[in-house]
Amino acid sequence: MSSTASPSRRVAVPVEVREALTTREVVVDLRPSTLLPALFCLGAALLISDYAWLPPAPANQVLFWAGILTCFAAVALAGLQERAVQRTHVLGLAALGAVLWIPYLLRSPAYPIFVDDLFHLQVLHEIAVRAHTDVPVTLYPIPGAFPGLEFCALAVHETTGLSLLTSGRIVALAVHVALPVLAYLLAWGIGLGRRSAFVAALVYMTNTSYYFFHSAFAYETLSILLVLATGAVLALSPRRGIGRKEAALLAVLVLATTATHHVSSYLLAVGLALTWLVTRLLRRPQRGLGAITALALVAPVAWLLLRAPHTQDYLSSAFSARIHGVVDTLTGEHGGGRRQLFGVSTVPRFEQFVDRAYPVVLAALAVAGLWGVHRSDRWRRNPLLAALAVLGPLAFLGLAPLVITPASDVVYRSWPFVFIGLAVYAAVGLATIVRRQPHVPWAAAGVLVALLLFCGISIGDNQAGRFPSPQPKFAAGPGATTEDVIAAAQWLEAEAGPLNVLAADSNTAAVFATYGSQRALGWGNWTPFILPTRAALSGYLRRSDIRYIVVDKRITTLPPRYGSYFGGGEPRERVYAPGRPFPRSRLKKFRTVPRLSLVYDNGDIQIYRAARSAGDGGRG
């Protein structure tokens, strides 16, 4: 990008007009930079029009990328100018953050479909009704244990009078807008120049969670904001000591993170502890950092023990499942190490091809950034910068190879945190390259970041598919949360009341647990489906407390979105081969079991009711 702007062409304005407008300078400025807001609006209009009229492929994809990349170009062209001020950077990043939230909303404007949205909105609804966080368990084991997100939506709801759904979406939008701005302030606070900090914020937006996952009403969406804000305040604080004012701000943010998301609070504590350790190793202690670190370490433990003791089982099982994934990968057991990249992706093949550049480019920038910081010697004087080297680029380089293993989930979930440091170092790497190679303009850095943004959006795209469609491509995933499934869940609650135990595939279970307030089995839900005979199923129903079996008939025609129809533990090898849908024959037995009545059928969803004991006709 050229740093010398062309002179503006001033058009002669009649004297009388000039005199009439004495307080304002009338300039018909035709410099390209003055048209950047129009360029941004053009991109946003293209993107929104794409979702408004949904043209057939590939026009929809072309419009989608044209819209996003036009918005990005407008923001980058404005922010990468040498004389760009903080206002330009902040407003540009906020505007880009808002535009990148729009596809999430327009994918399903009428009702949420992503499972995290469903869960947190249900908890929000229950909390609003009960005025306390002790809400019943329907599917997920820890409702109300980390209620920070719900509290924020409740605050919006009660101060505005807006619906709970709208309030939740407003919180998510506000967070999505603020995330890149805070990444910018963090990088600037660490000591990067304004333009480099702007590049760092753009790189942060390319992490695979930002575009979709952090658009959702999920507790990590809020917690990553709080973690970034903590980092920004820490970076802006005086190097020699954290004053009382900063300590007050940091304490509020740390405690709020603790009440919002378990893993985020642990990672924040680790980050602060590492920073504290580095200050000691470099003999540049920062007064007050130890106390904040101690608070960050103690608060999550205290919360876990006093406020959410039942969360320990949930966390330990989730942690052990991920460790097993890594071990299976290393040992090759249970099909370990055979993860197929883009195996269930809905993005076009062209994008999948380009996406392979993502880790390579990021790794190169991480190395360039580490080299640039090392040569500058800044890390010796800036312990936070040194700590971010470990938590950012080095962590990325260490974890990135795991994306080709079944433990990839761990890697992807860690990237929003890793990218805080990685973005800073990548920006340093880009700035160093641009300055060392005079023939490389800043625009080249912008193009490289645009490539990363393309890949980040594509890899982390909406798990329900990019565009709305009445016919999903996958079963047992958010794309299968169609209006008829929601209607079935609401019908069951109206007819049979809440908290009936039911078995269904994983996505249908989530819909019935949230929209229908039913108690869906999260483990063993596959048993009635895979039992081979009517007699076996009858015996199972007699022993279990299952009241309803909900069948999404699309599992017999569509592949599963996440590799399994009923969850990670299902014994699929006993029932169906990989790449084949669930056998229709296993569903036919439901029609022949004497204990089961088929009480609802809407084409996609069938609901079977199991008779209880003597004399039971039941409601519904």
Partner 1 sequence: MVAVADGVQATWQANGHAEPSGVGWPANSLVLAAVTLAAVLVLIEEIAPVPAPVRVPAGLLLSLAGPGFAGLLALRPRWLTPWTHVALSLPLSLSAAVLYAAVLDLTPGGFGGSRMPVGIAVLTLGLAAVSVESGNVVLPGAPAGRRLPQRVRPAAVVPVLLLAGWGSFAFAHAMQRNEAPRYSVLSAGDSLARSGSGTVFAVSVANHEGATRTYRINVIDRRADGARTTRRSLSFTLGNGDESTHRVSARCGRTTEIKLKSPGRHHVRRDLLLRPPCRGGRLR
Restricted to residues 435-454, the positions that interact with partner 1 (CB under 8 A) are 435-436
- Please, which residue, 182 or 411, has the CB nearer to partner 1? 182
Classify strands 501-503 and 519-520 as parallel, antiparallel or unpaired. Answer: parallel
Q: Which amino acid is at 433?
A: I
The correct pick among 10, 18, 83, 132 for binding partner 1 (CB under 8 A) is 132
Distance CA 319, CA 302 (A): 20
Stretch that binds partner 1, among 173-181, 278-286, 319-327, 386-394 (CB under 8 A): 173-181
**DSSP letter (8 states) at residue 479:** G
Tokens of 410: 């761990």
Work out whether 574 is an interface residue with partner 1 (CB under 8 A). no
Answer for which of 336, 393, 560, 620 binds partner 1 (CB under 8 A) is: 620
Distance CA 384, CA 237 (A): 11
Residues 495-554 that bind partner 1 (CB under 8 A): 495
Q: Which of 75, 259, 386, 511 binds partner 1 (CB under 8 A)?
A: 259
CB of 142 to partner 1, least distance (A): 15
Q: For partner 1, how many residues bind (rule: CB under 8 A)? A: 125
158-181 burial string, b = 16+ CB within 10 Å, else e? Answer: eeeeeebbebbbbbbbbbbbbbbb
Task: Name which of 73 and 575 has its Cβ closer to partner 1.
Answer: 73
Segment contacting partner 1 by CB under 8 A, of 254-262, 454-462, 525-533, 580-588: 254-262
Stretch that binds partner 1, among 190-198, 267-275, 322-330, 498-506 (CB under 8 A): 190-198
4 is a contact residue toward partner 1 (CB under 8 A): no
Task: Provide the β-strand partners of residue 605.
Answer: 552
The token duo for 549 is 């079996």
Span interacting with partner 1, options 124-132, 321-329, 407-415, 570-578, rule CB under 8 A:
124-132
Among 243, 398, 568, 571, binds partner 1 (CB under 8 A): 243
* DSSP code per residue over 587-601: HHGGGG-TTEEEEEE
Q: How far is the CB of 539 from partner 1 (least distance, A)?
A: 14
Q: Give 28 or 59: the residue with its C-beta nearer to partner 1.
A: 28
Among residues 16, 471, 574, 585, which is the contact residue for partner 1, using CB under 8 A?
A: 471
Residues recorded for the chain: 620
Q: How many angstroms separate the Cα of 53 from the Cα of each of 48, 253, 325, 391, 591?
A: 9, 42, 42, 43, 42
321-360 residues near partner 1, rule: CB under 8 A: none
Nearest distance, CB of residue 534 and partner 1, angstroms = 13
CB of 188 to partner 1, least distance (A): 8
Of 380 and 435, nearer to partner 1 (C-beta) is 435
- 203-232 positions binding partner 1, by CB under 8 A: 222, 225-226, 228-229, 232
Question: Do residues 262 and 290 touch, judged by C-beta distance below 8 A?
Answer: no
Question: CB-wise, 145 or 459, nearer to partner 1?
Answer: 145
Instruction: Say if residues 610 and 548 touch (Cβ distance below 8 Å).
Output: yes
Q: Which amino acid is at 63?
A: L
**Residue ranges of E strands in 540-579:** 548-552
Near partner 1 by CB under 8 A, which window of 444-452, 476-484, 545-553, 581-589? 476-484
The span from the CA of 588 to the CA of 593, in Å, is 10
Query: Contacts with partner 1 in 20-59 (CB under 8 A)?
Result: 21, 23-30, 34-35, 37-38, 41-42, 44-45, 48-49, 51-54
Please pick, from the candidates 154, 297, 513, 575, the single residue that binds partner 1 as defined by CB under 8 A.
Answer: 154
Among 119, 234, 249, 417, binds partner 1 (CB under 8 A): 249
Which of positions 86-105 make contact with partner 1 (CB under 8 A)? 86-87, 90, 102
Least Cβ distance, residue 366 to partner 1 (angstroms): 15
Tell me which residue has tokens 């169906």. 576
Segment 261 to 300, residues that bind partner 1, using CB under 8 A? none
Taking the complex as a whole, how short is the minimal distance between the CB of residue 81 and partner 1, in angstroms?
14
- Closest approach of partner 1 to the CB of residue 376, in Å: 4
Q: What are the backbone dihedrals phi and psi of residue 450, each rounded to the nearest 5 degrees, phi first?
A: -60, -40
Among positions 408-427, residues that touch partner 1 (CB under 8 A) are: 427
Nearer to partner 1 among residue 130 and residue 580 (C-beta): 130
Report the alpha-carbon distance of residue 203 to residue 205 in Å, rounded: 5
If the CB atoms of residues 248 and 330 are measured against partner 1, the closer one turns out to be 248
Cα 224 to Cα 68, 101, 189, 260: the distances in Å are 23, 16, 18, 10
Crossing angle of helices 164-190 and 408-436, rounded to 10°: 40
Measured from the CB atom, the residue of 575 and 607 that comes closer to partner 1 is 607
Only segment of 281-289, 454-462, 574-582, 588-596 that touches partner 1 (CB under 8 A): 588-596
| Shortest reach from residue 468's CB to partner 1, in Å | 4
- Residue-by-residue DSSP string for 490-515: HHHHHHH-S--EEE--HHHHHHHHHT
Task: Quote the CA–CA distance of 445 and 435 in Å, as a whole number.
Answer: 11
Of positions 69, 246, 334, 344, contacts partner 1 by CB under 8 A: 246
Characterize the bridge pairing of strands 501-503 and 605-610: unpaired
Strand partners, 608: 549, 598
Burial 330-369 (b: 16+ CB within 10 A, else e): eeeeeebeebeeeeebbbeeebeeebeebbebbbebbebb
Q: Which residue has the tokens 């942690």?
A: 319
Is-cis flag, bond preceding 58, omega within 30? Answer: yes
601 is an interface residue for partner 1 by CB under 8 A: yes
Name the nearest CA neighbour of 561 among 477, 485, 505, 479. 477
Instruction: Return the number of the residue (151 or 342) whose C-beta is nearest partner 1.
Output: 151
**Concatenated DSSP letters for 450-496?**
HHHHHHHHHHT--TT-SS--SS-SSBSSGGG--HHHHHHHHHHHHHH
